[in-house]
Amino acid sequence: MTKEQASGAEGPEQQEDNQQQQTNTEQAQAAPDAEAVYKAALAERDAKIAELERGIAEAAKTAESAEKLRAEMDELRRAGDEERVGFELALAGARNVKAARALLADHDGDIAALKAAEPWLFESGPAGAPPAPTGKTGLPAAGAATDEGALLKRWREIAGLDDEGKE
C-alpha cells in the first residue's frame, strides 16, 4: 500500500490528527526560527544602543574638551589684552601703570582721554626718557667760577694763620 491508499483507508479523524501533528511540527520548527530572529533583533538593537551610548559619551567628552579649550582661549585673550593695555600705557608715559589701568575703565579704555583727564598720572616728557634731575648734591657745579682768594682766607683761618703775617 501506498501512502495515499493508506490515508484513504484511514478515517477522517486519523487524517485530522496527522495534519495537526504536521502543523505542530512546522510551528515547533518555526518557533526556534522566530526565537532566533527575535534574539537577533534584540542583539542588533542592543548593539545600536551601545553604539549610540558611545557616541553620546564621545560627544560629551568632545563638548567638555571644547568648552575647556574655549575657556583657555578666553583666558589667553584676556591676558593678552591686559599686556597690550599695560604696554600702551607705559608707552604713553604713565607714571604708575597699575593706577592708570584702574582709571582706564572710567574712560572707556581710551588712553588719550585718560591722559587728558588725568595729566598728573603721565610724565610730561617723551615716553621712555629719564626724568630730569631735581634737587642739589651739595657740591658746586663743575666749571663754576670760584673766588680763590676767599677760599685761601678761609683755610688760613682754619689753620690758625693770619693774613697779616702774624704767626
pLDDT digits 0-9 by tens, 13-56 = 666 666 666 665 555 555 567 788 888 888 898 888 888 888 88
Specify the pLDDT at position 21: 66
Domain definitions of the chain by residue range: 33-125
Q: Which residue has the cell 484513504?
A: 8
Q: Which three cell numbers stand for residue 119?
A: 595729566
In degrees rounded to 5, what are phi and psi of residue 149?
-65, -45
pLDDT (tens digit per residue) in 68-126: 888 888 898 898 888 888 898 988 888 899 999 999 989 888 999 999 998 898 887 65
Banded model confidence at residue 145, pLDDT cuts 50, 70, 90: low
Does the pLDDT value for residue 11 go beyond 60? no
161-to-147, 149, 150 alpha-carbon distances in Å? 19, 14, 14
Residues 6+ apart with CB under 8 A from 122: 92, 93, 94, 95, 100, 115
Cα–Cα distance, 123 to 100 (Å, whole number): 12
Specify the pLDDT at position 18: 66
Say which DSSP state 121 is in.
G
**82: nearest Cα among 106, 68, 102:** 102
pTM of the model: 0.41
Does the pLDDT value for residue 147 go beyond 70? yes
In degrees rounded to 5, what are phi and psi of residue 94?
-65, 135
Of 2-6, 24-28, 91-95, 133-137, least confident by mean pLDDT is 2-6
**97: nearest Cα among 107, 105, 110, 87:** 87
5-to-1, 2, 8, 14, 109 alpha-carbon distances in Å? 6, 5, 5, 13, 111
Does the pLDDT value for residue 7 go beyond 50? no
Q: Which three cell numbers stand for residue 167?
A: 704767626
Does the pLDDT value for residue 132 go beyond 80? no
